[in-house]
């Protein structure tokens, strides 16, 4: 864990005022987070990461409850992760983990055309972000940005022209995706009722991520895309 220590500044400390103090704290916080992000390394997926992947996927999926009562990650384990990658070893080349102080704190998995994907039909020239997850105590350190940057670089090397992903409504990560250039795609009036039912009954209307406040999905799943230059 990282702790930020601020100097003893108050609005009574001449010549400081409240606006100066607020700006100073923001700058100091940004410097601290930048320093942490710089110490993070990205590693392409390897079998040695399977146990950490199982742990993170379980936490990620357990924030969603089928029929509002069954956590989706209840059967997630290392053996299941190993089966997925044994079925398509090529997926390991387009997946990565973030390591901080010899500990895996985040991971991302892309899916390219021809790879198995139960959430999205991946087209030629498309790189679909199947999953991205960050440990609760590592959020806010720029790790999500690093993982997305890595995925876009790999996608370009593979000849992809666009990135895509799906995110449940209400998720704060939407702000990150927008800052990275992703834009929400128009929703079809025909698909809206099916999306609403799927999100509410398969994932649950209330999402409870570990280490973060719960949020209301409003039965929405937002598709976002970004053109690669």
Alpha helices in the chain (DSSP H): 18-38, 50-61, 78-87, 143-157, 173-179, 192-198
Q: Could you say which residues of the chain have pLDDT below 50?
A: 1-11, 13-14, 20-22, 24-34
Vertex 117: Cα angle to 70 and 136 (nearest 5): 50
Taking the C-alpha atoms of residue 92 and residue 88, their distance in angstroms, rounded to an integer, is 8
Strand segments (E) across 39-171: 41-44, 65-66, 70-71, 95-100, 103-112, 126-134, 162-168
pLDDT of residue 110: 98
Kindly list the domain boundaries of the chain, sorted by start residue.
40-227
Residues 6 or more apart whose Cβ sits within 8 Å of residue 145:
37, 176, 180
CA distance readout (Å), 185 to 8, 99, 178, 210, 223: 47, 33, 12, 28, 6
Tens digits of per-residue pLDDT, 143-176?
Answer: 999 999 999 999 999 999 999 999 988 888 999 9
Beta-bridge mates of residue 227 = 162
Tens digits of per-residue pLDDT, 122-134?
Answer: 999 999 999 999 9
Taking the C-alpha atoms of residue 65 and residue 42, their distance in angstroms, rounded to an integer, is 31
pLDDT of residue 62: 76
Give the residue among 169, 181, 111 at the shortest CA–CA distance from 145. Answer: 181
> Residue 62's Cα: distance from chain center in Å?
15
State the CB neighbour count (10 A cutoff) for residue 136. 11
CA atoms within 13 A on the CB side of 25: 14
Q: At 193, is the secondary structure helix, strand, or coil?
A: helix
State the CB neighbour count (10 A cutoff) for residue 27. 10
| Assigned CATH class of 40-227 | alpha beta
Taking the C-alpha atoms of residue 33 and residue 130, their distance in angstroms, rounded to an integer, is 26
pLDDT of residue 204: 66
pTM: 0.78
């Amino acid at each position: 864990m990282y702790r930020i220590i601020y100097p003893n500044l108050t609005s009574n400390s001449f010549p400081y005022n409240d606006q100066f103090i607020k700006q100073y704290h923001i700058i100091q916080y940004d410097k601290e987070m930048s320093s942490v992000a710089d110490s993070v390394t990205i590693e392409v997926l390897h079998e040695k990461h399977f146990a950490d992947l199982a742990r993170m996927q379980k936490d990620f999926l357990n924030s969603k409850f089928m029929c509002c009562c069954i956590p989706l990650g209840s059967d997630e384990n290392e053996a299941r992760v190993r089966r997925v990658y044994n079925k398509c070893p090529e997926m390991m080349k387009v997946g990565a983990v973030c390591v901080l102080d010899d500990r895996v704190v985040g991971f991302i998995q892309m899916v390219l055309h021809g790879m198995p994907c139960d959430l999205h039909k991946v087209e030629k020239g498309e790189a679909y972000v199947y999953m991205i997850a960050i440990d609760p105590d590592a959020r806010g350190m720029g790790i999500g940005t690093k993982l997305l940057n890595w995925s876009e670089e790999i996608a370009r090397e593979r000849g992809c022209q666009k990135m895509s992903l799906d995110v449940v409504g209400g998720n704060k990560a939407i702000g990150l995706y927008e800052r990275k250039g992703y834009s929400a795609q128009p929703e079809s009036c025909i698909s809206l009722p099916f999306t609403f039912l799927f999100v509410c009954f398969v994932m649950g209307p209330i999402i409870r991520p570990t280490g973060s406040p719960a949020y209301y999905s409003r039965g929405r799943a937002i598709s976002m895309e970004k053109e690669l230059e």
